[in-house]
Amino acid sequence: MLNIVLFGPPGAGKGTQSEKIISKYSLTHISTGDLFRKHLSEGTDLGKLAQKYMDEGNLVPDEVVIGMVEVKIKETGDVAGFIFDGFPRTVAQAEALDQLLESRNTPISGMVALEVEDDELRNRILERGKDSGRADDQSIDKINNRISVYKNETLPVAEFYKNQDKFYPINGVGSIDSIFENICDKIDSFK
Ligand code: AMP
């Protein structure tokens, strides 16, 4: 199985690139942000709980995120592999993911990390906010908070995969297709 963690700050292009990766490698997509937005739109208890964190650009508590991913992994039958997008965002989530995959006898193959400067991220998210309807895309304070949460709480996850020799950085600035080509080169190297 090919199990990929697609990593990067908010606005790095994870959503765009994951769509292309999924269709090329036939992977099953697990985006915790998308799953929370689905719960929100359906008005579930989980969605209501997550909303106050999401609206401010803060992380939803680990046990809530891990529980949701566990359900998703367990309900998925035989697949070619998973792409995790926006997850794990803390070291505790990364440790939990290793355990969840151990129960399926299939480890993470590698983390692909999209790297983009802060100013570019802010511009991209504000631009996306014009159409996305996402409260967390529309105020510069919330965007700045998401970037600082990423630096303080999420960046250590890169170290976690570096320590396992599974960290593959990619320049996230350039055309969508050239970034995708670089991603595929990395993925093909750990298949
Ligand atoms: P995203 O679409 O990945 O930018 O996620 C949107 C929001 O959902 C984040 O700002 C968090 O509030 C929440 N969220 C998504 N994934 C996670 C995660 N793995 N851990 C904690 N919170 C998350």
CATH number for the domain including 58? 3.40.50.300
120: buried, middle or exposed (CB in 10 Å: 19+, 13-18, 0-12)?
middle
Residue 119 pLDDT: 97
- State if residue 8 touches ligand 1 by the CB under 6 angstroms criterion: no
**Residues above pLDDT 70, as percent of the chain:** 99
Q: Closest ligand 1 atom to the C-alpha of 136?
A: 10
> pTM of this prediction?
0.96
Mean pLDDT of 20-34: 97
Residue nearest to atom 12 of ligand 1 (CA): 54
CA–centroid distance, 89 to ligand 1, in Å, is 8
Residue nearest to atom 15 of ligand 1 (CA): 33
pLDDT of 135 above 90 = no
pLDDT of 40 above 90 = yes
Mean pLDDT of 59-65: 98
For residue 39, what are its two tokens? Answer: 């719960």
d(CA 78, CA 113): 26
Residue 190 pLDDT: 84
- Within a 10 A sphere around the Cβ of 58, how many other Cβ atoms? 15
Residue 67 pLDDT: 97
Whether omega before 88 lies within 30 degrees of 0, making that bond cis, reads yes
- Binding site for ATP, by residue number, is 11-16, 128, 174
Q: Which domain holds residue 123?
A: 2-190
Instruction: Give the chain's domain count.
Output: 1
**Residues above pLDDT 90, as percent of the chain:** 95
Average pLDDT, the chain: 96
Mean pLDDT of 162-191: 96
d(CA 118, CA 125): 11
Residue 161 pLDDT: 98
Sheet holding 82-85, edge to edge: 28-31, 82-85, 4-7, 110-115, 167-171
